[in-house]
A and B are shown apart, each in its own frame.
Chain A
Amino acid sequence: MNDYSKRSYIIILVFVLVALVFLIRLFRLQVLDSTYKQYATNNVLREVVQYPARGLIYDRNGELLVYNKTAYDLLITPREVKAFDTTLFCNLLDITREDLEAGIDKAKKYSKYKPSILVKQISPENYAVLQEQLYKFVGFHTQTRTLREYSAPAAAHALGYVGEVTQNDINKDAYYKSGDYIGVSGIEKTYEAQLRGTKGVKKNLVDVHNRIQGSYLGGSEDIPAQIGNNLTTTLDIDLQLYAEKLFKNKKGAVVAIEPSSGEVLALVSAPVYDPGLLVGRVRGANYSMLESDSLLRPLFNRALLAKYPPGSTFKTINALIGLQEQAITTNTMFTCYGKGSSPIRCTHDHGTINVVGAISGSCNPFMWNTFRSIIGRSKTSAEGFNKWRHYLLDFGLGTTLSEDFANSLKGDLPTVDYYNRIYGKGHWNALTVRSLAIGQGELGATPLQMANVAAIVANRGYYYEPHIVKAIEGDTIRSSFKTKHGVEIDAKYFEPIIEGMSRVVKGAYLIPGLEYCGKTGTIQNNHGIDHGAFEAFAPKDNPEIAIFVYVENSKWGASYAAPIAGLLIEKYLNDTIATNRQYVEKLMLNANLLDPNKIVIEDDSEE
Chain B
Amino acid sequence: MIQRNNIWSNIDWITVLLYLVLVFMGWFNIYAAVYDTDHQSIFDISQRYGKQLLWIGAGVALAIIIMSIETNFYVFFSYAIYGVMVSLLLLVLLIANEVNGARSWLEIGGFKLQPSEFAKFATALALARYMSTFDFKLKNFKSLAIMALIIFTPAALILLQNDTGSALVYFSFVLVLFREGLSGLVLFLGTLVATLFILALILSKLTLILVLLGAAALIYLILNPKFSQYFKILVFFATGILLSFLLNAILGKKYELGDIIIFGSILGSLVTLVYSLIKKFKNYAIISLFFLGSVLFSISVDYTFNNILESHHQVRIKELLGLESNPYGAGYHVNQSKIAIGSGGMWGKGYLNGTQTKFNFVPEQSTDFIFCTVGEEWGFAGTFVVIALFVFFLSRLVWLAERQRSVFSRIYGYSVAIILFFHFVVNIGMTIGIMPVIGIPLPFFSYGGSSLWSFTILLFIFIRLDASRLENFRDSRNT
B338-363 vs A, Cβ < 8 Å mask (1 yes, 0 no): 11111111100000000110111100
Distance A21 CA – B428 CA, assembled complex (angstroms) = 11
Min CB gap A41→B, angstroms: 8
B384 at the interface (CB under 8 A from A): yes
Cβ of A19 within 8 Å of any chain B Cβ, yes or no, is yes
**A12 proximity list for chain B (CB < 8 A):** 394-395, 398
> Quick check: is A295 within 8 A (CB to CB) of the other chain?
no
* 8 Å CB interface, B377-406 against A: 379-380, 383-384, 387-388, 390-391, 394-395, 398-399, 401-402
For the complex, give the distance between the alpha carbons of A95 and B54 in Å: 55
Give the residue name and chain of the A residue nearest to B394 (CB): A15
Q: Bound state CA distance, A216 and B271, in angstroms?
A: 72
- Let me know if A43 is at the binding interface, CB within 8 A: yes
Could you say which residues of chain B place their CB within 8 Å of the CB of A26? 341, 375, 380, 383-384, 387, 432
- Nearest chain B CB to A271's CB is how many angstroms away? 58
Q: A27 contacts B380, CB within 8 Å?
A: yes
CB-defined contacts of B433 to chain A, threshold 8 Å: 25
- B432 A15 Cβ-Cβ under 8 A: no
User: Do A30 and B375 have beta carbons less than 8 Å apart?
Assistant: yes
**Nearest CB in chain A: distance from B66 CB, A:** 25
List the B side residues contacting A7 at CB < 8 Å.
Answer: 178-179
Known: A22-B428, A36-B338. A30 touches B379 (CB 8 A): yes
A5 to B355, CA, bound (A): 47
For the complex formed, measure the closest distance between the CB of A11 and the CB atoms of chain B, giving whole angstroms.
6
Query: Given the complex, which residues of A lie within 8 Å of B342, measured CB to CB?
Result: 29-30, 33, 35-37, 39-40
Among the listed stretches A206-214, A336-344, A373-381, A573-581, which one makes contact with chain B, having 4 or more residues with CB under 8 Å of it? A206-214
Q: Chain A nearest CB: distance from B178 CB in Å?
A: 6
| A12 and B336 alpha carbons, distance in the complex (Å) | 32
Knowing A15-B395, A15-B421, A18-B425, the reply to whether A207 touches B390 (Cβ < 8 A) is: no
Q: How far is the CB of A108 from chain B (nearest CB, A)?
A: 16
Given A26-B375, A208-B361, verify A4-B380 contact (CB < 8 Å): no
- The reply to whether B346 and A205 form a contact with Cβ atoms under 8 Å apart is no
Q: CB of A3 within 8 A of chain B? A: yes
Q: A11-B398, A30-B342, A43-B361 are in contact. Are A22 and B432 (CB under 8 A)?
A: yes
Closest partner residue, chain B, to A113 (CB atom):
B328
Chain A residue at minimal CB-CB distance from B401: A8
Which B residue's beta carbon lies closest to that of A208? B360
Query: A residues within 8 A CB of B216?
Result: none
Residues of chain B within 8 A of A214, CB atoms compared: 37
B46 within 8 A of A: no
In chain A, what residue has the closest Cβ to B380?
A30
Give chain A residues whose Cβ lies under 8 Å from the Cβ of B402. 1, 5, 8
Q: How far is the CB of A235 from chain B (nearest CB, A)?
A: 53
**Residues of B close to A2: CB separation below 8 A:** 181, 479
Q: How far is the CA of A595 from the CA of B175 in the complex (A)?
A: 105
Q: Do the beta carbons of B360 and A209 come within 8 Å of each other?
A: yes
Bound state CA distance, A33 and B344, in angstroms?
A: 11
- What A residues does B293 contact at CB under 8 A? none
Say yes or no: B359 contacts A25, CB within 8 Å: no
The answer to whether A19 and B391 touch across the interface, beta carbons within 8 angstroms, is yes
Q: For A209, what are the chain B residues with a Cβ–Cβ distance below 8 Å? A: 360
Q: Which B457-473 residues have a C-beta within 8 angstroms of A?
A: none
Q: Quick check: is A487 within 8 A (CB to CB) of the other chain?
A: no
Interface pair A207/B391, CB less than 8 Å apart = no
A263, B356: Cα distance in complex, Å: 60
- Interface residue from B339, B340, B343, B384 paired with A23 (Cβ < 8 Å): B384
- Cβ contact of B359, chosen from A19, A23, A37, A213, cutoff 8 A: A213
Contacts of A19 in B (CB 8 A): 387-388, 390-391
CA distance A4 to B340 in the complex (A): 43
Asked if B479 and A44 make an inter-chain contact with CB atoms under 8 angstroms apart, the answer reads: no
Number of B residues whose C-beta is below 8 Å from A? 50
A31 CB contacts on chain B under 8 angstroms: 345-346, 380
Known: A5-B402, A26-B432. A11 touches B179 (CB 8 A): yes
State in angstroms the CA–CA spacing of A43 and B342 once bound together. 13
Q: Which residues of A contact B339 (CB under 8 A)?
A: 36, 39-40, 43
- Contact yes or no, B179 A29, CB < 8 A: no
Give the residue name and chain of the A residue nearest to B355 (CB).
A44
Using Cβ atoms and an 8 Å threshold, which residues of chain B touch A33? 342
B385 to chain A, nearest CB (A): 11
A37-55: contact bitstring with B at CB < 8 Å (1 yes, 0 no)?
Answer: 1011101100000000000
Question: Contact between B398 and A44 (Cβ–Cβ < 8 Å)?
Answer: no
Contact pattern, B 390-432, Cβ under 8 Å of A = 1, otherwise 0: 1100110011011000000000001001100100110011001
A16 contacts partner chain B, Cβ-Cβ < 8 Å: yes
Neighbouring A residues of B135 by C-beta, 8 Å: none
Question: Using a CB-CB cutoff of 8 Å, which residues 318-347 of chain B contact chain A?
Answer: 336, 338-346
Residues of B within 8 A of A15 (CB): 391, 394-395, 398, 421
Query: Contacts A4-B180, A7-B178, A26-B384; is A37 near B345 (CB within 8 Å)?
Result: yes
Given A8-B179, A12-B395, A23-B384 in contact, is the A207-B345 Cβ separation under 8 Å? no
B361→A21 contact, CB < 8 A: no
Chain A 219-277 residues near chain B, CB threshold 8 A: none
User: B434 in the interface, Cβ–Cβ < 8 Å?
Assistant: yes
Closest Cβ of chain B to A32, distance in Å, is 10
| Alpha-carbon distance A39/B414, docked complex (angstroms) | 41
Known: A7-B178, A26-B383, A36-B343. A16 touches B359 (CB 8 A): no
Whether A43 contacts B387 by the Cβ 8 Å rule is no
**CB-defined interface of B31-56 with A at 8 Å, one 1/0 digit per residue?**
00000010000000000000000000
* Interfacial chain A residues near B432, Cβ < 8 Å: 22, 25-26, 29
Contacts of B178 in A (CB 8 A): 7, 10-11
Q: How far is the CA of A579 from the CA of B440 in the complex (A)?
A: 99
Which of B338, B388, B424, B429 has the most chain A CB atoms inside 10 A of its CB? B338
**Contact across chains for A44 and B356 when beta carbons are under 8 A apart:** yes
Question: Is B340 a contact partner of A40 (Cβ separation < 8 A)?
Answer: yes
Alpha-carbon separation in the docked complex, A40 to B376 (Å): 10
Q: Is the CB of B380 within 8 A of A11?
A: no
A207: nearest chain-B partner, CB-CB: B359
Task: List chain A residues, Cβ under 8 A from B360.
Answer: 207-209
Residue in chain B with minimal CB distance to A10: B178
C-alpha gap A87/B390 in the complex (Å): 59
Inter-subunit contact A11/B355 (CB<8 Å):
no
List the A residue with the shortest CB-CB distance to B384. Answer: A23
Residue of A nearest to B405 (CB): A1
Which residue of the partner chain B has the closest CB to A16?
A: B391
In the bound complex, what is the Cα–Cα distance between A12 and B345 (angstroms)?
A: 29
A14 cross-chain contacts in B, Cβ below 8 A:
175
From residue A237, how far is it (CB to closest CB) to chain B in Å? 53
Closest A residue to B418 by beta carbon equals A11
Given contacts A11-B179, A12-B398, A206-B359, are A30 and B346 in contact (CB under 8 A)?
yes
Residues of chain B within 8 A (CB-CB) of A205 are 355, 359
Residues from chain B with Cβ under 8 Å of A39 in the complex: 339, 342-343
Give complex CA distance A41, B345 in Å: 13
Q: Chain B's nearest CB lies how many Å from the CB of A163?
A: 38
Output the nearest chain A residue to B356 by Cβ-Cβ distance.
A40
Residues of chain A within 8 A (CB-CB) of B359 are 43-44, 205-208, 213
Q: Chain B CB within 10 Å — which of A7, A33, A35, A214 has the most?
A: A7
Chain A 453-468 near chain B by CB (<8 Å), digits 1 or 0: 0000000000000000
Closest-CB distance, B377 to chain A (whole angstroms):
12
Q: What residue of chain A has the Cβ atom nearest to residue B348's Cβ?
A: A30
For the complex, give the distance between the alpha carbons of A167 and B421 in Å: 60
The 6 closest A-B pairs by CB, nearest first: A36-B342, A40-B343, A207-B359, A30-B380, A208-B360, A29-B342
Q: A2-B181, A208-B359 are in contact. List 11 more A-B contacts (CB 8 A).
A: A8-B399, A15-B395, A21-B434, A22-B383, A22-B428, A29-B338, A30-B346, A36-B338, A36-B342, A40-B376, A43-B336
A-B contacts, 18 of them at CB < 8 A, read: A1-B402, A5-B402, A8-B179, A11-B178, A16-B391, A18-B421, A19-B388, A23-B387, A25-B432, A29-B342, A30-B380, A30-B383, A35-B342, A37-B343, A40-B356, A43-B355, A213-B359, A214-B37
